[in-house]
Amino acid sequence: GQNIDQPTEMTATEGAIVQINCTYQTSGFNGLFWYQQHAGEAPTFLSYNVLDGLEEKGRFSSFLSRSKGYSYLLLKELQMKDSASYLCAVRDWGGATNKLIFGTGTLLAVQP
């Protein structure tokens, strides 16, 4: 089976840096994704890691360690509009199809 854990909620200050951690256990790992979701809207893609290391994309960076089953999403220069849920998702190779399994999500509140 799969198990993906994230903190439920986090609070940070505008302009600061925040790191959202994700740990996972899966039988057939085939990549890890981070999505952003504002309330009532569909998730939007942020980043993808399949090899160990750091992927940087503007204010957002994502890190992966496959041996530790661990990833984090780093948000720099926080803006109020970054207040949203951040979903860690693992692509699990189920034999015939890759499935994307989501963690519980981390609700980030950015304060002035």
Partner 1 sequence: GAVVSQHPSWVICKSGTSVKIECRSLDFQATTMFWYRQFPKQSLMLMATSNEGSKATYEQGVEKDKFLINHASLTLSTLTVTSAHPEDSSFYICSAEGGRGSGANVLTFGAGSRLTVL
Q: Which residues bind partner 1 (CB under 8 A)?
A: 31, 33, 40-45, 48, 50, 87, 91, 96-105, 107
As a whole number of angstroms, the distance between CA 80 and CA 33 comes to 23
CB atoms within 10 A of CB 56: 12
Shortest approach of partner 1 to residue 15 CB, angstroms?
A: 27
User: Which residue number, 76 or 104, has a Cβ lying nearer to partner 1?
Assistant: 104
Shortest approach of partner 1 to residue 104 CB, angstroms?
A: 5
Is 46:105 a contact under the CB 8 Å cutoff? Answer: no
